[in-house]
Structures are given as C-alpha cells and as structure tokens.
C-alpha cells in the first residue's frame, strides 16, 4: 500500500478509535466505573496523538493560521447543519444536535480568538 493511502486509512482508523473509546468511557462513567472511564479516555488521547503525529510528519498542516481559518469555517458549518438537523428530530436527538451545535459555535469563537492573537 502506498504511504498516502495508508496514511488516510490510518488517520481515519485512529479517529474512529478515539470516538469509540470515548463512547465506552461515557458508559463506564454512567456505571460508576470511574477508573475504567479514565483509562479509556487515556487510550483515546493516545490514539488521537498517533493520528496527529502521522499528520504532522506527513506535513499535512503547513500553515497554522490557514489551518485555524479553515477550521473556523468548518466549525461554523457543522453548527449550522446540526441546528438544521435539530429542527427535524424529536428528543433525545434534538437536544444532542443542539448542544453539540452550540459547542461547535464555541469552538469557532475560541479559534477566532486564537487567530487574533496570531495576527
Ligand atoms: Fe493507535
Ligand atoms: Fe468542533
């Protein structure tokens, strides 16, 4: 397999693992298994860093400011789509769509603050 092909597969695989470990951590937490939840979160972060290290080594993030600008737009778009989805669903999905949309908006605001500091 070519490096570029493997890189994409690898990074996606790590991202999926992060989400699955964090989902399992939530379940562990709901069951009161705090140490289990913490261990699963630690693994999730390590998986995230594997993908991050591979992206950095491949030179995927060339310019920090450009990356942040791109992410601001992506966060805003995600928020827009999530709010739109919320209007088409009943609970408990409605609340999940809305609260995650507000998080995406907050991420965009944080990134805008970072961008100002970098300029
Ligand atoms: Fe990994
Ligand atoms: Fe976000």
For the record, the structure tokens of 88 come out as 């088409």
The Cα–Cα gap between 116 and 118 comes to 5
Q: Are residues 37 and 55 in the same domain?
A: yes
Residue 92's Cβ-side half-sphere holds a number of Cα atoms within 13 Å equal to 0
Report how far ligand 1's centroid is from the alpha carbon of 44 (Å): 9
- 79 and 49 in a single domain? The answer is no
Give yes or no: residues 101 and 117 share one domain: yes
Residues 55, 80 within the same domain: no
Question: What pLDDT sits at residue 86?
Answer: 97
The one-character DSSP state at 86 is H
Whether residue 77 contacts residue 101, with contact meaning beta carbons closer than 8 Å, is answered with no
Report percent pLDDT > 90 for the chain: 97
pLDDT of residue 58: 94
Q: Are residues 99 and 56 located together in one domain of the fold?
A: no
CB neighbourhood size of 114 (10 A) = 15
Q: Give the domain-ending residue among 61, 88, 106.
A: 61
| Residues spanned by the domain of 46 | 1-61
Per residue in 63-105, pLDDT (tens digit) is 999 999 999 999 999 999 999 999 999 999 999 999 999 999 9
**pLDDT value, residue 20:** 98
Q: Which ligand is nearest to the CA of 15?
A: 1
Of 46, 61, 76, which one is at a domain's C-terminal end?
61
If one counts the domains in the chain, the total is 2
User: Domain check: are 43 and 13 in the same one?
Assistant: yes
Ligand nearest 16 Cα, by number?
1
Find the ligand nearest to 46 CA: 1
Q: For residue 89, what pLDDT is reported?
A: 97
pLDDT at res. 46: 98
Whether residue 72 is found in the same domain as residue 27: no
Between the CA of 6 and the centroid of ligand 1 the distance, in Å, is 13
CA 93–ligand 1 middle distance (angstroms) = 30
pLDDT per position as a tens digit, 16-56: 999 999 999 999 999 999 999 999 999 999 999 999 999 99
Please confirm whether the linkage preceding 68 is cis (ω < 30° from 0): no
Same domain, 57 and 68: no
In angstroms, the CA 119 to CA 113 distance is 10
Query: Which residue, among 105, 114, 103, 119, has the nearest Cα to 73 in the 3D structure?
Result: 105
57 and 102 housed in the same domain: no
Which listed ligand is nearest to 104 at the C-alpha?
Answer: 2
């Amino acid at each position: 397999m070519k490096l570029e092909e493997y890189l994409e597969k690898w990074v996606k695989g790590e991202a999926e693992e992060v989400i699955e470990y964090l989902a399992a951590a939530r379940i562990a937490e709901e069951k009161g298994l705090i140490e289990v939840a913490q261990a699963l979160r630690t693994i999730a972060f390590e998986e995230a860093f594997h993908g991050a290290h591979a992206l950095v080594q491949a030179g995927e993030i060339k310019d920090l400011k450009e990356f942040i600008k791109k992410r601001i737009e992506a966060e805003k778009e995600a928020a827009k789509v999530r709010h739109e989805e919320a209007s088409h669903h009943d609970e408990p999905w409605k609340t999940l769509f809305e609260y995650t949309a507000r998080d995406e908006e907050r991420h965009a605001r944080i990134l805008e603050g970072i961008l100002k500091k970098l300029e």
